[in-house]
A = this chain, B = another copy of it.
Amino acid sequence: MKRVGATEAWTGTADCRLCAIRGSVLFAGLKEDDFERFHRPIDQSVYGAGATIYAMGDPATSLFTIRSGLVKLTQFLPDGTQRIVRLLRSTDLIGLEALIDSEYPHTATALQPTELCRLPVEFVRSLSHSNAQLFNELMARWHKALSNADRWITEFSTGSSRDRVVRLLLWLAEARGDERCELFSREDLGAVLGLTTETASRTMAELKRQGFISEPRVNQFLCDMPSLRRLLDA
């Protein structure tokens, strides 16, 4: 396991009123007045690829908004096998579970250099009681997480290895809005799809040979979206 850049660094306190992605984050619905009530500042930090944001079992004290980057949430079974249950990106929220659980149920790891804003759980909890907008936004976040999880089950855990890989490629590319997708290691690919590293590797290599995807830069793939979609019907 490569640990290059497995670091965390505090990069200052955020001014939410000036946030570049404010329209898309949890606090989107808050008004200027609400921000006045922030007594404690919101910490911002950067995590290098491979850095652990929190580990399963850690006391759940914060939620995090992803400003940029890519984060995986991993869950472990008693026998040691692990499975990536979510991939999260800019404007997504991680650690929602902290609102209910006292410990994080997953391990959160940065897959790319990632900027986060740290939101203390008590802060979000109290604010949600007094602010209907935030309440609705939270509900929407739960809903999104749940429908993603459902998708994980039906799309990434069902069918042949090729189908799973193709569905993931399409999902990644669609989420970006173009034909490209930043990919991660074959090991993580396997952990997302419930396949071994070797099967993940073979499947990717096969798709490359057949011309469905190309790799202009390392770990950046170009997808022939229409052809890939057609693969799923057959």
Q: A residues bordering B, Cβ < 8 Å?
A: 75-79, 81, 83, 85, 96-97, 99-101, 105-106, 129, 132, 135, 138-140, 142-143, 145-147, 149-150, 152-155, 157-159, 194, 232-233
Contact = CB atoms under 8 A, between A and B. Distances in A.
Contacts of A85: 150, 153-154
Copies in the complex: 2
A102 to B, nearest CB: 12
A101 B77 CA distance: 32
A79 B150 contact: no
Contact of A83 (B79, B100, B132, B153): B153
Given A81-B158, A83-B154, A138-B139, A146 B149 contact: yes
A34 to B, nearest CB: 18
Residue of A100, A101, A138 ringed by the most chain B CB atoms within 10 A: A100
Given A139-B138, A233-B79, A150 B149 contact: yes
